[in-house]
Chains A and B, each alone.
Chain A
């Protein structure tokens, strides 16, 4: 049994939990809710995108640039798997 190392990071797990609850959120929302620096958030989002866990969509509303993020089907599957694996680890601990 191996936990998904990309999701297991606490910040990325928080991002995945937020994204799994809604259709999409933008960069500013994540930045202020998670209280991260811009560079840190960009780096985490890049890592999640590279592993096909999130989709990134860039657009303009008027002159305001917007970067929207949404969870991919693979991301949902991996997150579910992560919880199942966490549960198994927990039950293994108790059985010992």
Chain B
């Protein structure tokens, strides 16, 4: 690269920013682990519910307990941060670490904390209402969209203000909810209706993979620009 060509170097700056805002490595690892635990819990619960043999039920319940503990462990940032960083670094060793500077004002932090609080209260509430058949299980996903979508929007706008790709996630989740209200089956119907809740993982993974590929394109452009 010719040092006199500062326009090229300004381009490096832009590509670097684009790459760093589309680098969802840890989020992908985290979502895959959560998805695996969620599907395992759902599968095991269904299996236990249908099984009659105690020899099968006892190990299944023990396994379910282990998965639940794992889910709780991975839900607490204090415990999961180090492990997630370690797994991400092991998988994406060559890409190393890139941390972007995100300045979050105290007011925004307060709004994020309130949104997280509402979200944490609403999740078990929705599950309990569904469990006691207080509404048609078909509406579990649309009802969850009422608190999931605003929570996601707050998180995206306050922590990833440049990475608008992430908006695909709440948009797809909201569209799914609207389609479900109009009784248009998106993924699952009949006895597997509750699995529609997994759409949060499916759309999440889809969005993060798009973000990942956009990041990789920017990284390749950055490398070739630096090699000029």
Contacts and interface: CB of A to CB of B under 8 A. Distances in A.
Interface of A: 8-10, 13-14, 17-18, 20-35, 61-62, 64, 66, 68, 83, 86-87, 90
Interface in B81-105: 82-83, 85-86, 89-90, 93-101
B97 A68 contact: yes
Contacts of A35: 223, 226-227
Nearest to B227: A35
B95 A29 contact: yes
B197 interface: no
B12 A18 contact: yes
Given A10-B1, A22-B16, A29 B226 contact: no
Contacts, number: 86
5 contacts: A10-B1, A10-B2, A25-B97, A26-B96, A68-B99
Nearest to A89: B4
Contact of B12 (A17, A29, A31, A86): A17
Contact of B97 (A14, A29, A87): A29
B133 interface: no
Given A17-B9, A18-B12, A86-B4, A33 B222 contact: yes
A25 B83 CA distance: 19
Contact of A32 (B1, B2, B95, B101): B95
The 9 A-B pairs at the shortest CB distance, nearest first, are namely A29-B96, A28-B96, A21-B16, A23-B101, A26-B97, A62-B86, A26-B96, A23-B99, A24-B99
A24 B98 CA distance: 6
Nearest to A27: B96
B20 interface: yes
A61 B92 CA distance: 14
Nearest to A30: B96
B219 interface: yes
A78 B17 CA distance: 20
B82 A62 contact: yes
B136 interface: no
B3 interface: yes
A23 B223 contact: no
A24 B223 contact: no
Contacts of B226: 14, 33-35
Contacts of A32: 94-96
Nearest to A18: B16
B86 A64 contact: yes
Nearest to B6: A86
Contacts of B101: 22-23
B25 to A, nearest CB: 12
Given A21-B16, A22-B101, A62-B86, A14 B1 contact: yes
A79 B226 CA distance: 18
Given A24-B99, A29-B95, A32-B96, A64 B89 contact: yes
B97 A13 contact: no
